[in-house]
Amino acid sequence: MCAMSLTPAVTQAADYARSSFGKLADGRAVEAITLRNAKGVRAAVINYGAALQSLVMPDRNGTLADVTLGYASLDGYLTKPEYFGGTVGRFANRLADGKFTLDGKVYQTPRNDHGNSLHGGERGFDKVLWEVVEVKRGDTASVRMRYISKDGDQGYPGTLTVFATYSLNEANELRMEYTATTDEPTIANITNHAYWNLAGEGAAVGAMGHVLTIPAEHYTPVNDKLIPTGELRPVADTVFDFRSPQPIGARVREAREQQIVFGKGYDHNFMIARDVAKEPRLLARVEEPTTGRGFELLSNQPALQFYSGNFLDGTVIGKSGRAYRQGDALVLEPQLPPDLPNQPKLGTARLDPGTTYRNVIVYRLFVNGARAH
């Protein structure tokens, strides 16, 4: 029996609610849009950073809990953002030395991470106010937001028009879709940076007991600055083999593996495929044994960055009033491979006028291994 259908539904239509989430220093209002369905699932999205601020779902006993890390108010997102639930871009993940070359011209972006660029630079998409352009209710509740990144923003060429759409349906599927178009050649790699603890945000049990499956044959090893070396390394017989379900904490401290030392745990890209697919495919499966909560993660992207919360250091006080510490959450980011513009053997991040960048991310939420219908 699946606890996801534990409450009698008054209506089977998914709905939304809108509320204030504070104001920026210049007076612009920030809004929270909460999507909800009849199964007890609620996803709150704020238009600052187009961020997933919370995701509430029941466990096998019907107990509701918020399972994403973040802040209860806007102030935290402004003062110590940590990418909690944010939309990251223009180029998610790392660019070596913050540089890339396009059509023979070298572009320099902010070096905000040990000499490299991380998640678009100092003022990436997670640190700007998006315009709410549409909200819907019905079989699926959704919110659509837009941000226009001007030519030269953070050093990137071209004016990029980006849409972020979050939707929640009665099958307990949370969907995020990112699209972008440009008026001149540029690069694009946009994803979501939600931190998950399916035992509950702030729970005494961290995320290291979560059981993870990633159907990847290879991963991309990194140097001591977490930039891929250019190698595609088989996961077989390594701590990076998640082709069968593995508790994250079983090997996260394996210091005999130099890659774990470099990342202070897992902070690595897994290659699921070599192409961007037309439709989402399975990238990962996560289950938390004590509560039975879990999800399947699908995307059309070829790569998945797995980060085991290594840099949470107790200086962030989360929504429940508890300090977030190392290993309290995991992050799974469907995307193009890191540093791709400088490592073209793995594909391309180029976006030209007349074409559309698209990343579709689907979380199929379940309890006790069974999806609710």
* C-alpha dihedral sign at 296, 328, 305, 250: negative
Report the C-alpha gap between 229 and 222 in whole angstroms: 5
Quick check: bond before 90 cis, omega within 30? yes
Q: Which residue segments constitute the domains of the chain, with CATH numbers given?
A: 3-371 (2.70.98.10)
Could you report the per-residue pLDDT of 118-163, keeping only the tens digit for each?
999 999 999 999 999 999 999 999 999 999 999 999 999 999 999 9
Could you report the per-residue pLDDT of 10-67, keeping only the tens digit for each?
456 899 999 999 999 999 999 999 999 999 999 999 999 999 999 999 999 999 999 9
- Enter the tokens of residue 96: 């070596």
The predicted structure's pLDDT at residue 161: 98
Name the residue type at position 71. Y
Q: What is the mean pLDDT of each run of 10 residues along the chain (373 residues)?
A: 38 88 98 97 98 98 97 97 97 98 98 97 98 97 98 98 98 98 98 98 95 98 97 98 98 97 98 97 98 98 98 95 96 98 96 98 89 45
Note whether 311 and 264 are within 8 A (CB).
yes
Catalytic residue from among 170, 177, 287, 333: 333
333 is catalytic: yes
Report the C-alpha gap between 41 and 52 in whole angstroms: 13
Cα–Cα nearest to 153, from 198, 113, 122: 122
Report the C-alpha gap between 10 and 146 in whole angstroms: 33
Predicted TM-score (pTM) of the model is 0.95
Catalytic residue from among 119, 193, 210, 268: 193
DSSP state of 36: E
- Enter the tokens of residue 284: 């990962």
Report the C-alpha gap between 297 and 335 in whole angstroms: 12
- Specify the residue for token string 């990633």: 214
